[in-house]
A and B are shown apart, each in its own frame.
Chain A
């Protein structure tokens, strides 16, 4: 039973750390499927986390914080869009630039406004997301096996956690079952054809980056309003890149993205758990190896040794309308 409880605990923290990855990777899914590479997921998430932490601390309202997060993240998306869609600059360069501008300005502004070493004030009460207890969670707690799974593993998360998992089928539906989704995917594969059909490639791609902005806004708000009580400088700590890795690992498909994020989240949770505890049979696993595993797996996948990851065909290429 002890082992069972450990497993439940690891899976529970897996879910907790996967949520920002799922939001950000789904955001990346929208832009990359529309043919705009986005390595600024990290920056957007960080900017959103800062905006959420700062606004929630000042206003005392968690919803104001969430809105600010989405607003900032969408603004950053529009900068990325302006540089890479309108100005036809390099999408990668633009993404790198956004990551740096955000990394620097969150620290500078945070320090100037709150003077707490780059943190925002600790949030409590209404300024922070509260966990949600699912119905009957208390009642079924004592049922063997299923009880703990329901009341410990599935219940007691934040509303954003459930939203993240709900976004997975929703994104699938938008991308594969709506006209907008069909056109969005087409614009990532063959923008010329979409243009010939009389649909604006530019406007479609802008809508795609705005979708990514909204989703990264949720990811950032989750970090500073739910997972921790306030913003800490550099709190994304490479999660945006892990999300990017998950997106590629999932071969740009919504359901796979959720599984990839859960896998990478599981590795993360396991690494924390294993710190100092030797594993049976294998012995002591260096923490650094566990931390590097998501990246190593992505490289191996990209190399085509486990299936083949084929990116959207027009990805990375600015669209020039022929005259």
Chain B
């Protein structure tokens, strides 16, 4: 891909531009709030207060953030290899089967610290398998990964409805969900982590899978920037022809990257299933896979960007619930709008303000300090 835009200093490239895009997205969201007849500033206050006002709120914010770190990493890994995995949603959903099976088998006989690693393997395995087929089809048969992963999301959803209403549901129960897990299938909370800061977690389901998410973020960083495979996949992402010329197997990269991406998405299932509900329910993913797209775009596909972006979306989810409580005409669907706007401005329109910012920097460089008035941004 050629880049027709002037090169900017790193802090502008990775700090200023995403920030400007984010601010614009929130301004447009504020317009929607105005259209509904409410005060955007008041909504913003309720959101920030609802997300960080109390230890319990922070616990919920970080609980949601955990989920989004996994799905954000999942989308980002695929981005680096030039693949757009819209299927994180379905892969996370299928990953839930792995978690549920492990928990249903071992929850009564084993403690959580033995069940947890098995469940990690199970979730990653099932997520990776669900991503394997689209990856294989892209690599071997040339079918477009975006379309196949969209199709696989729908197939996953039908499959899970079938499994939860007919197979995994306990006999005699009406609700489409598995039985509630015993102690072995329940992850301990991270109340001690927040109590270091003098915060009381209350009922928030903030649990050890947060630590796993941080670990996964580090592992993804190491994989992409510190291994030979990471170098190969980035090469492939930048220029497939250069990669082929260098003797990198495109098939191998695509399939492995998709499986890593699917595995990360699948691990997302640990957080709600073992950390909050202690059972697998219908539609437990709740669009987290799609939030991952926004998180990855905003975090510029770098783990160091994805974690704050995930926390921001955790804030939106938790604070959004608070807004819905305080201002009845704004439901949680407001988050979906903001999510869409972030994807639009940080993703598809990421270059909209770049020429202006680039000109401003060029002006600064040429005429030194006094010529700030050229800066249109």
Contacts and interface: CB of A to CB of B under 8 A. Distances in A.
B143 interface: yes
A109 interface: yes
B246 interface: no
A155 interface: no
A87 B348 contact: yes
Interface string A66-99: 0000000000000100111001111111101111
A90 B35 CA distance: 29
A2 B339 CA distance: 51
Interface string B72-101: 000000000000101000000000000000
Contacts, number: 149
Given A97-B341, A241-B150, A292-B158, A89 B351 contact: yes
Nearest to A83: B348
Contact of B352 (A87, A238, A248, A299): A87
B150 A244 contact: yes
Contacts of B166: 286
Main secondary structure of the interface of B (DSSP, over half): helix
B312 interface: no
Contacts of B269: none
Given A90-B347, A97-B340, A286 B335 contact: no
Nearest to A90: B348
Interface stretch (B181-189, B251-259, B326-334): B326-334
Given A93-B348, A98-B344, A108-B330, A303 B150 contact: no
Contacts of B86: 92, 96
B154 A98 contact: no
A89 B333 contact: no
Contact of A100 (B148, B290, B351): B290
Contact of A93 (B137, B142, B347): B347
B93 to A, nearest CB: 13
Interface string B119-163: 000000000000000000100011110111011101100110110
A154 to B, nearest CB: 31
A45 B72 CA distance: 28
Contacts of A93: 84, 293, 297, 343-344, 347-348
A113 B162 CA distance: 37
Contacts of A204: none
Given A111-B329, A288-B161, A320-B4, A299 B351 contact: no
Contacts of A104: 333-340
Given A87-B348, A97-B347, A100-B336, A105 B150 contact: no
Interface in A256-302: 286, 288-289, 291-292, 295-296, 298-299, 302
Interface in B275-303: 290, 293, 297
Contacts of B336: 100-101, 103-104, 107
Contacts of A103: 333, 336, 340
6 contacts: A37-B146, A39-B150, A79-B344, A93-B347, A101-B341, A241-B151
